[in-house]
Structure 1
Amino acid sequence: MSEEIKFDTEYITLGQFLKLAEVIQTGGMAKWFLGEYDVFINGEQDQRRGRKLKAGDQVSIPGFGKYVLRH
């Protein structure tokens, strides 16, 4: 089961997503988090804080959960 994360812009960055999904408390933690944990976007590993995520993208973070982005 995936948790839906809603946003109202064309895209959000992976760093913004982590904060929106309450995986991290502050945007400044994104770089550290991505260095410590594996993040998979649509099945591919990606640790780039600036990666653009769009509606329909699926994010999986082992140990934290699975998320689907929606408008």
Structure 2
Amino acid sequence: MSQAVLNVEGMSCNHCVNAVEGAVAEAGASGKVDLATKQVTIDYNIDQVTVEAIIAAIEEQGYDVIK
């Protein structure tokens, strides 16, 4: 299992947290958002999903991932 921390701009409430965590889950990983730091910590299997796919899923929800 690998882990990545992504900075996500545009999150401001619990709805945002749910949207981002849901997008990460749909991409095939698990994620935990820290709204105060605007970061999401992702646990994923590198054989099943890429960080780029997870970023794309988050951005499809309307949030900006800062690289």
User: What is the TM-score when the length of structure 1 is the normalising length?
Assistant: 0.32
**More helix per residue:** 2
User: What is the TM-score when the length of structure 2 is the normalising length?
Assistant: 0.33
